[in-house]
Amino acid sequence: MSENRSEMGEGLGGRLAHVKGRIEAACARAGREVGEVELVSVSKRKPLAMIREAAAAGARVFGENYAQELKQKADELGGEAGVEWHFIGSIQRNKVKYLVGRAALLHAVDSIRVVDEIQKRASGKGLVQPVLVELSLAGEESKAGVAEEELGDLLAHFANTPAVRCVGLMTMPPWVDDQEEVRPYFRRLRELRDRWRDRGLVNVDLHHLSMGMTQDFEAAVEEGATLVRVGTAIFGARQ
Ligand SMILES: *Cc1c(COP(=O)(O)O)cnc(C)c1O
């Protein structure tokens, strides 16, 4: 614990408050209500002690991107701290079983195969799993996410999967130094959400925009993010 604290500098609670303040300021600049934006504290590769400390300081939603790590942490913490887990990593089919029933939201669904596997696991447990569809907007072949042209087909597929509900879109823009350069990607995600929102697709209710990380969450909030995924600014650098 003492080691974690010294690594944190001003302390985890202070960093968390600082990030929340920056979200509030970005909301104010954009004329948005603070309550429209949920902070997902990305705790991947950070110990449970830090998660407990963040929860005590008011963090409610934690993001993980390794399925087994989420499973282990969620099972260890249980309902203890009243926290909610989000899975923000790319989803492999064989890891879905660890996530359904533990993750309140899966941020990065990007194939029909994965949606079908979630359907199988969620219906087996008698629950409905909310998910987001990840978009790849920069056209990089290696990047996870569906291309814009594939979005319609994937959204239409949720009509066949009553135990999976699509509640929004997510993207991870290319890494750049200047957050102004990622703004067009955030805008594009919002345009796509708005375009597909009112089509009456079954099991699709496009409300959420998951976008923005430590380096660019303020721009994301200004462009309409409802979920920002912030790790480093809260927990410090990862190994
Ligand atoms: C790690 C991660 C984040 C958080 O990144 P930071 O730069 O530490 O804020 C956000 N989203 C995804 C998908 C991640 O894997």
46 within ligand 1 shell (Cβ under 6 A): no
- Average pLDDT estimate for 51-58: 95
Residues 186-196 pLDDT 10s: 999 999 999 99
Residue 80 contacts by C-beta under 8 Å, 6 or more apart in sequence?
none
| Separation CA 168–CA 107 (nearest Å) | 9
Per-residue confidence band for 4, with pLDDT thresholds at 50, 70 and 90: very low
Hey, whose CA ends up nearest to atom 11 of ligand 1?
A: 229
The yes-or-no verdict on residue 219 having pLDDT over 70 is yes
Q: Is the Cβ–Cβ distance between 64 and 39 less than 8 Å?
A: no
- What percentage of the chain exceeds 70 in pLDDT? 95
**Residue to substitute in 44, 106, 143, 213 for testing ligand 1 pocket (most ligand atoms within 8 angstroms of CB):** 213
* pLDDT at residue 239, rounded to an integer: 83
Return the ligand 1 atom nearest residue 108 CA: 13
The answer to whether residue 141 scores a pLDDT higher than 80 is: no
80-127 pLDDT per residue, tens: 778 999 999 999 999 999 999 999 999 999 999 999 999 999 999 999
**Ligand 1 neighbourhood includes 123 CB (under 6 angstroms):** no
Average pLDDT over residues 192-215: 96
The whole-number pLDDT of residue 139 equals 78
Q: Which of 173, 81, 158 is nearest to 122 (CA)?
A: 158
Q: 């708005």: which residue's tokens?
A: 194
Q: Which atom of ligand 1 is nearest to the CA of 88?
A: 13
Q: Please report the DSSP string for 177-228 in residue order.
A: S-GGGGHHHHHHHHHHHHHHHTS--TTEEEEEEE---TTTHHHHHHTT-SEE
pLDDT at 234: 98
**How far does residue 213's CA lie from ligand 1's centre (Å)?**
6
